[in-house]
Amino acid sequence: MQAILAGAVLLVCLSTPLMGGKQRPRKWSKRLAPESSAGAPLAVGLGSWAMWVLMFPVLRVGFTGTRDAWIGVALLVLCVLIARLMVRMVAPARLKGSRMLVAARTVGLCCVVAGVMAPLDAEVDKQPMAGMTVIYATTAAVLGLMRIVDHGYFPLVVLRKALWKAFLAVVTGYWIQHTGGTLVPDPDHATAGTLLLAVLWWSLVVLSAGCAVAAAVRLVPWLRAGPPAHPAPPGVTSWPPAIGDVWTAELNYDDNTYKERPVVVLERTPGFVRVLGVTSVDQSARRRAYLKLRLPEWEGVLTKDSWLNLEIVHVPYSDFLWRRGECPGRVWDVLCTKADVRERSAKAGPAPGFTFRYRLRSAMNAHVGRDARVVRARADSRVRRVWAREKV
């Protein structure tokens, strides 16, 4: 009974990444990023069973004769096609069109499944259900790692998932050994149940270790230079920001506050984007520092007459929320030739949003400082209240 419970816990841990979840960006009300796929475990279960059925006779018979060789090649082609469908199912939309990446992952999945089946097929053949579970565990671990790496944009969030799965692996491993099982069985003498639990446990260990490595590889450059340009932040449909586009982004200010504003993209660099911010506050008294934007020319991009700040701002890639449209051609020509477009003054210090504290918090899907949005004060209120953005 204890072995059945341990196996059920391990299967749930392996199936959870396939189902995914709603990855909440910091501006969740404007930029939802649904990732859930409740039918993914079932689809992977059917696909892994089909791979087992197709690959089993190839491993057992081999390519001994001409006829067997052609049958084996046909079965392997069908197996690759099924693996390709599963790989595309767990991949995000931006990667589905990358044929080389999908092909490489498909071949890798088939090789891993074949490598697990080769030493275990003699034992699991006695219990078909155990054999199917072993192949499902292997396939789920590989596909779950792909899904977490593809959809896990914030490295410390991915690391938290890895630590949680490592904790579950330690608990279930102690449970298996405490009940008389072993985590390193001999395939020639162990029973099918013992092999099944061992494969399930090692699949969870590989999944947690792969997530930890992927999080560490992404975290080091994130803390060193800021959020990377790739992969795209969760929830954005058009990526990366193109030169001349108008986006909504979170701008950080020197008073430790931030606010969403439209921005005009001037240039992309490996670590940040150079933009010009847009404000709706009247800046008529500062015409040398701002450019008037009239609504008829910006129809569909802005909602009211606004002013364009001619001081360049550096914005991290993780702070871009969604694309609003394109900068009108006349205004873009003015920006390309206007001498008043200037860099941030050196006396103002480093640009906000690029300190180590900010980079560390952004890797957690959190934000430094307060939201600068305010609500209209009531007649009996003397203090304006500041909205505090919920921690995600």
Burial of 287 (0-12, 13-18, 19+ CB in 10 A): exposed
Q: Tokens 């696909």 correspond to what residue? A: 47
DSSP per residue over 37-101, as a string?
-TTHHHHHHHHHHHHHHHHHHHHHH-S-SHHHHHHHHHHHHHHHHHHHHHHHHHS-HHHHT-HHH
β partners of residue 6:
none
Smallest CA-to-CA distance from 386 within 208, 294, 258 is with 258
Rounded Cα gap, residues 268 and 283, in angstroms:
27
Rounded Cα gap, residues 131 and 114, in angstroms:
12
In sequence order, the 6+-apart residues with CB closer than 8 A to the CB of 31 are 25, 234, 235, 236, 321, 322
Q: What is the pLDDT of residue 366?
A: 80
Query: What are the mean pLDDT values of the chain's consecutive 10-residue runs (392 residues total)?
Result: 76 83 54 66 86 77 65 86 91 81 92 80 59 83 88 88 92 85 74 79 92 93 88 79 91 82 90 90 81 88 89 89 88 81 71 83 82 47 32 27
Query: What domains sit in the chain, N to C, each tagged with a CATH number?
Result: 2-225 (no CATH), 245-351 (2.30.30.110)
CA dist list (Å): 308 to 43, 261, 319, 333, 380: 51, 11, 19, 14, 35
In sequence order, the 6+-apart residues with CB closer than 8 A to the CB of 356 are 223
Read off the amino acid at residue 378: R
Neighbours of 7 (CB within 10 A): 20
> Do 251 and 277 touch, CB atoms closer than 8 A?
yes
Q: What is the pLDDT of residue 258?
A: 82
Rounded Cα gap, residues 110 and 79, in angstroms:
8
Q: What is the pLDDT of residue 311?
A: 87
SS3 letters for 279-292? ECCCCHHHCCCEEE
Burial of 117 (0-12, 13-18, 19+ CB in 10 A): buried
Q: What is the pLDDT of residue 382?
A: 32
> Do 165 and 213 touch, CB atoms closer than 8 A?
no
Q: What is the pLDDT of residue 384?
A: 31
Q: What is the pLDDT of residue 219?
A: 93
E-strand stretches of 118-256? 245-252
Rounded Cα gap, residues 275 and 231, in angstroms:
20
Q: What is the pLDDT of residue 387?
A: 30
Q: Please state whether 141 falls in left (phi above 0), alpha (psi between -120 and 50) or beta.
A: alpha
Give the largest CA-CA distance in the chain: 91
> Do 205 and 169 touch, CB atoms closer than 8 A?
yes
> Do 201 and 10 touch, CB atoms closer than 8 A?
yes
Rounded Cα gap, residues 245 and 274, in angstroms:
12
Q: What is the pLDDT of residue 205?
A: 93
- Predicted TM-score (pTM) above 0.95: no
Smallest CA-to-CA distance from 134 within 112, 102, 151 is with 112
**Residue 263, both tokens:** 């921005």
